[in-house]
Amino acid sequence: MHLVFAIRRRCDFLDPYVAETLIAYWRRVCEGKDWRLWDVEVLGDHAHLFVGVLPTHGAEDVALSLMNNSAYFLEQRHAAVLAQLRLNGVWQSGFYAGTVGSATTSQLKSYLQRRAMEEDQK
């Protein structure tokens, strides 16, 4: 899935140093959840993430997990900069989520049905 997160008030907060530490942090979060962070592009005021997840993971859950975890991470490490920018949080409350890939609806339904049957057999 393609996710876009924007800094509050579109402030230019994500300099190269912050971006580097943020990307490394997101990689650790994704590894812990068995998600694949395929690509990330961090610009000064927003970030694009391409994340591979199973169809059982909803876009909202993935986005909120990455946003909330990274907000805490950034607030702990860059509180002075956020205060200087007068930001009372890192991310805008909304986000963009889109799908990428070529799986059809019927393929996803079939996959989810197989997973449900496997879970029932356990």
All structural domains of the chain with their residue ranges: 2-121
One digit per residue, pLDDT tens: the chain, 122 residues? 999 999 999 999 999 999 999 999 999 999 999 999 999 999 999 999 999 998 889 999 999 999 999 999 999 999 999 999 998 889 999 999 988 776 666 776 777 678 778 778 87
Q: How far, in Å, CA of 91 to CA of 3, rounded?
A: 13
CATH classification (class only), 2-121: alpha beta
Report the predicted TM-score, pTM, of the whole model to 2 decimal places. 0.81
Other CB atoms within a 10 A radius of the CB of residue 22 amount to 20
Q: Say what the pLDDT of residue 84 is.
A: 93
Residue 89 per-residue DSSP state: S
